[in-house]
Amino acid sequence: MTPFANATTPAKAALGTTLALGASAVFLLVASNVLLLGLRLHDGGFHWLEIATGWPRYGADPRFDRWLTLSTLSGLIVVFGLLGAILRHRPPPLHGKARFASEREIKTAGLRSKAVSCSAAKMGKCSASAERNMFSSMLQRAPGRG
């Protein structure tokens, strides 16, 4: 199931704009902080624009160039990873919306046997757990069980 597959055009445009702005912000945040960490100039704060303001100095220092490249790549990897996780195609669940039926639903559908064959039924204390225990004990005694 693709997110917003059946959305209207304005909703898709809003989603695209929001994703583009969010991706840009995440890229600037990650790349700027990786650049400062690599150059050992990070002061512990959140830096947004160091990657953008550092490009004019490109080519002047080989160490700066290496970390500018690595920080750009790390920002792109994070952004495309997040976009892939957000926009990935999700197949429908294999078994639909399957769940276990409640006791009330079982009784309403008439699936519970009227004649209960457990020994506690005579005293009125037979429950689903008693039936389950009896069934599992029958399985344990079944021929061919290892």
80 and 135 belong to one structural domain: no
Span 32-56, pLDDT tens digits: 999 999 999 889 888 889 988 888 8
Q: Is residue 68 part of a domain?
A: yes
DSSP string, 62-88: HHHHHHHHHHHHHHHHHHHHHHHHHHP
**Rounded distance between C-alpha atoms, residue 14 and residue 17, angstroms:** 5
82 and 119 belong to one structural domain: no
69 and 139 belong to one structural domain: no
- As given in the structure block, the two tokens for residue 70 are 């690595």
| pLDDT at residue number 31 | 95
**Cβ(105)–Cβ(118) below 8 Å:** no
Q: Is residue 96 part of a domain?
A: no
Q: Is residue 144 part of a domain?
A: yes
Q: What is the dihedral of CA 125, 128, 132, 135, to 10 degrees?
A: 70
pTM above 0.75, yes or no: no
13 and 83 belong to one structural domain: yes
Span 71-121, pLDDT tens digits: 999 999 999 999 999 888 878 777 777 778 888 888 888 877 666 555 545
- As given in the structure block, the two tokens for residue 76 are 């792109």
72 and 16 belong to one structural domain: yes
Q: Is residue 132 part of a domain?
A: yes
66 and 119 belong to one structural domain: no
Question: Residue 33 belongs to what domain range?
Answer: 9-87
